[in-house]
Amino acid sequence: MDSIQVTPTTASKINDVDFKNLGFGTVFSDHMLVCDYADGKWGIPKIIAYQPISLMPSAKIFHYGQSIFEGMKAYKDANNQTWLFRPEENFKRFNISAKRLAIPELPKEVFMEGLKALLKVDEQWIPTQDGSSLYIRPIIFATGEGFHASPADAYKFIICTAPSGAYFAGKVKVLIEQNYSRSANGGVGYAKAGGNYAGQFYPTQLAIDKGYNQVIWTDDNTHEHIEEAGSMNIFVRINDTLITGPTSDRILDGITRKSILEIAKDEGIKVEVRKFTVSEVVEASKNGSLKEMFGAGTAAVISPIAGFGFEDVDYDLPELDNPMALQLKKRITDIQTNKAEDSFGWTVSV
Ligand code: COI
């Protein structure tokens, strides 16, 4: 690949940012990486100031939602070294999503070299406060024009970043969904397609109106199998066994999910990757064997669930002194931020 052209901003916003009070994904770093697909090939990426993009109203993204994204984070360690966590996994999943949405796959060097170059240019934007990181959003969307319902002939790949703190503040209360579905067999549930998330907003708002924070997604056919927690994978702990559902057409192959499974095994925790049901969780809650539930994803890392609602009954999770959720969260974030040894070979220095 030819070298990436960098045109630095002439008006950095970094001094306006309160790095001690970061929300999640609300302030954006000075630069972005942009790469266009046209005439059957991806071009040379360039780094320019973070700025608006101009699109025709007939661009297919607006009509048919042909768009995908990834979620990643960059961290700084005590020696000011920048780290990425399993970026190859994000790259692989990005192209799995691209294929499903009939978007041309992106060359690896455009993603990897582009990302590393962007992180070097915006290095000062990587926060160092505990619990914060630079949240990274690679996206591809259809810029090609046309009302014909078919794949576009032009696309834009962008990486933009946001110094961010926690995604959720505190524990969340969830509603087990019995009507709406996030995904279906043969569908796009396993892909990080923008529309998968848009489709969650309405059912989630209905749950919020009832006093919950998030929806627990169940399978579209029977609504009996527990599949995901909002925009995260879900884990339950029954007695001392950690359980999560197997990935499928309907469940995202979460990088945090698979890292937690490996860390848990390494810590001697019994793990089961198997289908599990609403009845099993309700029964376990009633007999006291349900100890923990938590969501897992890049943005939230691990988000403990305080209680769940099902068929108009609320079930509370016990308050534990040493929950597995915290133990696992500490181990994974220590690895990500180079505070603990990475015996898995997951972290990549930039
Ligand atoms: C992430 O966890 O990084 C995601 O992409 C989910 C998003 C809704 C925040």
* Residue 256 · residue 301 · CB < 8 Å: yes
User: Which mutation among 93, 182, 231 tests ligand 1's pocket best, with the greatest number of atoms within 8 A of CB?
Assistant: 231
> Which residues make Cβ contacts (< 8 Å) with residue 18, sequence separation at least 6?
none
Strand partners, 301: 297
DSSP for 281-298, written as a single string:
HHHHHHHT-EEEEEEEET
* Residue 237 · residue 243 · CB < 8 Å: yes
Q: CA 72, CA 269: separation in Å to the nearest integer?
A: 26
Residue located nearest, by CA, to atom 5 of ligand 1: 71
Residue located nearest, by CA, to atom 4 of ligand 1: 71
pLDDT digit string (tens) for 58-70? 999 999 999 999 9
169 — pLDDT class (breaks 50, 70, 90): confident
* Minimum-distance ligand 1 atom for the alpha carbon of 299: 2
Dist. CA 318 → ligand 1 center (Å): 27
User: Which mutation among 214, 298, 303, 332 tests ligand 1's pocket best, with the greatest number of atoms within 8 A of CB?
Assistant: 298
> Which residues make Cβ contacts (< 8 Å) with residue 305, sequence separation at least 6?
171, 172, 173, 174, 229, 292, 293, 294, 295, 317
Structure tokens at 225: 């199998």
Residue located nearest, by CA, to atom 8 of ligand 1: 231
Dist. CA 306 → ligand 1 center (Å): 20
Give the C-alpha distances (Å, rounded to integers) separating 306 from 251, 276, 309, 314, 327.
23, 19, 11, 11, 17
pLDDT digit string (tens) for 46-59? 999 999 999 999 99
Give the percent of the chain with pLDDT over 70: 100
What pLDDT does residue 1 have? 79
CATH architecture of 5-164: 2-Layer Sandwich (3.30)
Give ranges for CATH 3.20.10.10 in the chain: 172-336
Q: CA 240, CA 92: separation in Å to the nearest integer?
A: 33
* Residue 123 · residue 31 · CB < 8 Å: no
pLDDT of residue 171 exceeding 90: no
Instruction: Give the residues surrounding ligand 1 with Cβ less than 6 Å away.
Output: 71, 197, 231, 297-299
Give ranges for CATH 3.30.470.10 in the chain: 5-164
Q: CA 26, CA 41: separation in Å to the nearest integer?
A: 33
* Minimum-distance ligand 1 atom for the alpha carbon of 69: 5
Structure tokens at 158: 């962008």
Q: Which CATH class is domain 172-336?
A: alpha beta
Give the C-alpha distances (Å, rounded to integers) separating 257 from 22, 97, 263.
25, 18, 10
Q: What is the DSSP letter of 109?
A: H
* Residue 305 · residue 170 · CB < 8 Å: no
pLDDT digit string (tens) for 74-112? 999 999 999 999 999 999 999 999 999 999 999 999 999
- Within 13 Å of residue 114, how many CA atoms lie on the same side as its CB? 30
Q: pTM of the predicted model, to two decimals?
A: 0.96
Rounded to the nearest angstrom, the gap between the alpha carbon of residue 13 and the centroid of all alpha carbons in its chain is: 26
Dist. CA 299 → ligand 1 center (Å): 5
**pLDDT averaged over the chain?**
97
Q: CA 271, CA 259: separation in Å to the nearest integer?
A: 12
